[in-house]
Amino acid sequence: MSPAAKQRVLFGAKIVITAALVGWLVHKGALDMRVLGVFLEEKSLLFLDMFVFVLASIVLASMRWRALLSLADVKVAFGRAVHLQFVSLFFNVVIPGNVGGDVIKALYVAREQAPEKRASLVLIAFVERLVGLAGLVSVALLVLAFRGVALWENPAFRPFVSTVLLLGAGFVVGPVVFVVAMRSFGAKLEAMASGPSKISGLLKKVVASFRLVSAKPMELVKALVLSMGVHSTNMVLFAMMTRIVSKQDAPFGIIATVYPIGLLSLMLPVSAAGAGVGHVAFEKLFVAMGLTRGADVFNVFFFGQIAPCVLGLVPYLMLRAKEPVPEAAPEAAPKEALEGEVAKEARDEPESGPRDP
């Protein structure tokens, strides 16, 4: 079975699992799809949802991406970054399981940069995902700093508390070890990767890219703070949706506890975009905190953040008309095409690479 076929089968399995979980919640009366009508009944909620989407998913996320691009000495105008961010969200939602939006952004930016920077851009696409997760873990750690003892006393929350602490330790210790290792041994690793072969040339570029990332730790910190801003903004929206949808006066402290832990459950790669798994997780978390209608609240939040991404079709068509994806980089597999460009560069110019930081 080809990799593309395996990917389709895997995505199909995720759709089945998502449908099964959502169907189970509907059957037991824990999820009412009619609740989505709240966007028509509460026009202020619809306006707030769009405002938060633009602020968090477009503006703050674009600022985070520009901070990460600076690691490779790549500068992108803010307007250009916003345009590409909207396009990337469209791909994440409309074509899930086929190509990541972060790869689409990297592909377009890579075409505008010197060849020696392309390997770094591939790395930054990966780092952006890690920073997004690190921001959520950081928010969860802040919650534990204030409510950790109370949460630990509740047996239902102990597994989540342990998971957050382990992830937090990893995101604190891991980056420190990485930066120290690259600064201490990066030059030696790059020298070891040098050689006349195509693979050696590519490895040299990858090591040099890691050295670039480790050379500017403050930019990583800036990106992390922006990620925390993205999640904190969405958490405020989730809190307001909880009050409107569930008709409960839920304290913000409780929502601040439930939100990051619930979103961390979406890390499980067993459903499409976290749907189904997220519904079940928030239903259980709400019950544990003495609240109801957790699945309904998450459903409104989920669709409120997913639906606007479809509007990214417009900026994508505008971008495609002016800057069509090269024939050598078909839209069905831009990640492979981008990596192919890096490999080609390693073949054509094996002695070149990102400049030494």
Q: Name the residue ranges covered by the structural domains of the chain.
A: 3-138+216-340
pLDDT digits (tens, 9 = 90+) for 59-75: 999 999 999 998 888 88
Residue type, 50: M
The dihedral region occupied by 290, where left means phi > 0, alpha psi between -120 and 50, and beta the remainder, is left
How is residue 310 written in tokens? 């479809």
What are the C-alpha distances in Å from 54 to residues 49, 62, 233, 234, 286? Answer: 9, 10, 11, 11, 27
* pLDDT for the residue 218: 86
**Which has the higher per-residue pLDDT, 288 or 7?**
288
pLDDT for residue 328 is more than 50? no
In our burial notation (b when 16+ CB lie closer than 10 A, e otherwise), range 67-104 reads bbbbbbbbebeeebbbbbbbbbbbbbbeeeebbbbbbb
Average pLDDT over residues 1-15: 75
- Specify the pLDDT at position 60: 96
Q: Which residue is associated with the tokens 């969200």? A: 89
d(Cα 233, Cα 227) in Å, to the nearest integer? 10
Euclidean distance between CA atoms 136 and 125, whole angstroms: 18
Residue 345's pLDDT is: 42
Confidence of residue 349 (pLDDT cuts 50, 70, 90): very low
Name the band, by pLDDT with cuts 50, 70 and 90, for residue 346. very low
- List, for residues 236-269, the tens digit of each pLDDT value: 999 999 999 999 888 888 888 889 888 888 877 7
Which residue, among 240, 224, 221, has the nearest Cα to 52 in the 3D structure? 240
Residue appearing with tokens 């930016």: 109
Mean pLDDT of 23-36: 89
Instruction: Write out pLDDT tens, residues 55-112.
Output: 999 999 999 999 999 888 888 999 999 999 999 998 888 765 545 778 888 888 888 7
Residue 30 pLDDT greater than 50, yes or no:
yes
Residue 327 has pLDDT above 50, yes or no: no
108: closest CA among 79, 135, 136, 76?
A: 76
Mean per-residue pLDDT for 160-171?
81
Q: What is the pLDDT of residue 338?
A: 46
Mean pLDDT of 212-221: 78
- Amino acid present at 231: H
- Per residue in 269-300, pLDDT (tens digit) is 777 777 888 899 999 999 988 899 999 999 99
**pLDDT value at residue 205:** 61
Statement: residue 329 has pLDDT above 50: no
| pLDDT tens profile 125-155 | 878 888 888 898 888 888 888 887 887 887 8
- The rounded Cα 100 to chain-centroid distance in angstroms is 10
Share of the chain above pLDDT 70, in %: 79
pLDDT higher for 203 or 180?
180
- Report residue 101 as tokens: 């939006």
